[in-house]
Amino acid sequence: MAKVSDDCLKVLVAAVGQLIEACMTRFVYMADTHFGANPMGYQMQPGYPERLPELLRLLDAWIAEHGPVDFILHGGDMLDGMTPANLTGAREAFRLPVPVHLCLGNHDLTTLDALDAWLAGASEFFPGGRSDYSVYSGECGVHVVTSHWQERPYHWVNALHPHFLPGQLDRVEHEVAAHPELVHILLTHNPVLDVPGEQRGETTPFHLPPPAFTETIQGMVQRHPEIRFVLGAHNHANMHVVAGGVHYVTATSFSETPFEFKVIEVTPESIRMSTVALLPGTSFAARYDFDRTWVQGRLKDRAFVEERRPPEGGTANRGGAGL
């Protein structure tokens, strides 16, 4: 048997590593930064949006130490309200070493021209120059869909009646059908499910969406079992519910103590989620409301690992219809 030189082994190991990295997608998911608020209005834990520049520097350092990360996915309410100053400040604060992709939330759409302002003044957050878009990386496709809140689309004042425009989800269904070998992830700002009462220790609803909103999303994922993940935001709470084999996840506000984000990984073998807190690295003393510890979630709300399964009657695959 021929002896393989050390140099050849190093080249082989490096090539295998590059192949594995090319097949893996790893991204940060954060939400509800509310840039420009001081103080925050709605909050589940004490919020420090005025400290966002420091918190984002800590995130930058975390990525440098624990990377690689392909991109950052922001679940919405990047701003507390649309103003030229807030938009300019957020663009500067979110200049990070990896791309930042944004799903617009209700607080991002507080003026009649908010959508135009985003697309003209912060186009780097929207691949393809549209508020609804898809991003493909390694083993997965991420599909961003804007929630609408009242009769006029892309505008929010006070009413919270989340819905989608007629035909708005057709694009997602087309994208998923065109790439059945991938794991597909859907993101929209409004949660699709209520935070479970068992997590909160009470039975009253908490950010319960209208039945039609939930039924629309669940109907689509039933038609397309390749959609394995539905991400939301808005409620400022860590939630993870598995329904019909689909992971429904929401996140805490990145600007609220303990300044958390999620790391989501999709490989040919598994899908993983973990939650990271930046509080230990902050330079300021942050308060915490111990009467609302449920917001941080139980262990299953913060992390999971699930092996991907081959399709029925098949062998191991690169995605397919199941995890």
Residue 6: its pLDDT value, please?
A: 63
Q: Is residue 257, in this structure, part of any structural domain at all? A: yes
Q: Is residue 213, in this structure, part of any structural domain at all? A: yes
H-helix segments, 195-242 = 197-200, 211-223
Name, in order, each residue with C-beta under 8 angstroms of 275's C-beta and a sequence gap of 6 or more: 238, 260, 261, 262, 263, 297, 302, 303
Q: Is residue 18, in this structure, part of any structural domain at all? A: no
CB 191 within 8 A of CB 233: yes
Q: What is the DSSP letter of 275?
A: E
CB 275 within 8 A of CB 262: yes
Q: Is residue 1, in this structure, part of any structural domain at all? A: no
Q: Is residue 237, in this structure, part of any structural domain at all? A: yes
Q: Is residue 241, in this structure, part of any structural domain at all? A: yes
Per-residue pLDDT of the chain (323 residues; tens, 9 = 90+): 555 566 554 444 333 344 445 579 999 999 999 999 989 999 999 999 999 999 999 999 999 999 999 999 999 999 999 999 999 999 999 999 999 999 999 999 999 999 999 999 999 999 999 999 999 999 999 999 999 999 999 999 988 999 999 999 999 999 999 999 999 999 999 999 999 999 999 989 898 999 999 999 999 999 999 999 999 999 999 999 999 999 999 999 999 999 999 999 999 999 999 999 999 999 999 999 999 999 999 999 999 999 986 544 333 333 322 22
What is the span of the domain harbouring residue 64?
24-299
26-53 b/e with 16+ CB inside 10 Å = b?
bbbbbbbbbbbbeebeebbbebbbebbe
Q: What is the DSSP letter of 105?
A: -
Task: State the residue for tokens 């700002």.
Answer: 189
116-132 b/e with 16+ CB inside 10 Å = b?
ebbeeebeebbbeeebb
| Cα–Cα distances in angstroms (integers) from residue 128 to residues 101, 133, 195, in the given order | 11, 7, 33
Query: How many domains is the chain built from?
Result: 1
3-state secondary structure of 7: helix
234-255 b/e with 16+ CB inside 10 Å = b?
bbbbbbbbeeeebbbbbbbbbb
CB 132 within 8 A of CB 119: no
Tell me the Ramachandran region of residue 10: left when phi exceeds 0, alpha when psi lies from -120 to 50, beta otherwise: alpha
Beta bridge partners of 143: 134, 186
pLDDT digit string, tens, across residues 103-144: 999 999 999 999 999 999 999 999 999 999 999 999 999 999
The enclosing domain of 269 has a CATH number of 3.60.21.10
Q: Is residue 132, in this structure, part of any structural domain at all? A: yes
CB 232 within 8 A of CB 192: yes
Q: Is residue 320, in this structure, part of any structural domain at all? A: no
